[in-house]
Amino acid sequence: DIVMTQSPDSLAVSLGERATINCKSSQSVLYSSNNKNYLAWYQQKPGQPPKLLIYWASTRESGVPDRFSGSGSGTDFTLTISSLQAEDVAVYYCQQYYSTPLYSFGQGTKLEIK
Amino acid sequence: EVQLVESGGGLVQPGGSLRLSCAASGFTVSSNYMSWVRQAPGKGLEWVSVIYSGGSTYYADSVKGRFTISRDNSKNTLYLQMNSLRAEDTAVYYCARASVRLGELLDYWGQGTLVTVSS
């Protein structure tokens, strides 16, 4: 099974500053036949379901603000929020969908305002 | 517009059973891959089960032999039959669509239904 590990577990950033969350997979999630990384990022606010932000490691979902970006390949990935807004306070999860049906998620990173 | 609405959660005693439903609109359940994902109180996300368009089903080891995923094509609804429930099954259960076009990415999620297993 692929294990996803996020860092840090929690993060406090000032409004307008950059927030960076890392995700590492225990094996590569890069599918060589199409050169795509099967890695997604979700945002979850209290009492709400996860919301898809990024897929294929770097493709922003429709309607997601462009301050959110994803990068990385193989086993190491990053979610960056370029200028933190108050509404970005949430828990963020990475997820691999390479080894479906055995999806796995990171443990989550709680993002707060400093 | 794609919508997923779960129902059927509630309080059940250990060893009991419960059936969750997920009514879909805006797309056809039987033509898609559909999953259940759960989240224990204050914890992270755990994939539970998936049913493929062809009918194949898969389960996490933690629920294998106790949970059964199914669908009713006429009602465009997904189900999760949960038997022999344990305290550790307490969680919010989400249904989600797995987009085949996007590599089985979980692209749409319902609001979730809370299952509490307690005496």
Where helices occur in B72-119 by DSSP H, the ranges are: none
Q: How far apart are CA B43 and CA B34, in angstroms?
A: 22
Q: Tens-digit pLDDT profile for chain A (114 aa)? A: 999 999 999 999 999 999 999 999 999 999 999 999 999 999 999 999 999 999 999 999 999 999 999 999 999 999 999 999 999 999 999 999 999 888 999 999 999 999
Who's near A97: CB < 8 A, 6+ residues apart?
Answer: A38, A39, A40, A103, B98, B103, B104, B105, B106
Whose tokens are 């796995």? That residue is: A104
Q: How far apart are CA B95 and CA B39, in angstroms?
A: 11
CB atoms within 10 A of CB A87: 9
Instruction: Specify the amino acid at residue B87.
Output: A
Who's near B61: CB < 8 A, 6+ residues apart?
Answer: none
Contact B112 A105 (CB under 8 A): no
Cα distance from B2 to chain A (closest Cα, Å)?
14
Cα distance from B50 to chain A (closest Cα, Å)?
7
pLDDT, tens digit, 9 for 90 and up, residues B8-26: 999 999 999 999 999 999 9
Closest Cβ opposite residue A40 in set B47, B60, B105: B105
Is A35 near chain B, with CB under 8 Å? Answer: no
Cα distance from B96 to chain A (closest Cα, Å)?
10
**B19, B77 contact by CB (below 8 A):** no
**Residue ranges of chain B whose pLDDT lies below 70:** none
Is A97 near chain B, with CB under 8 Å? Answer: yes
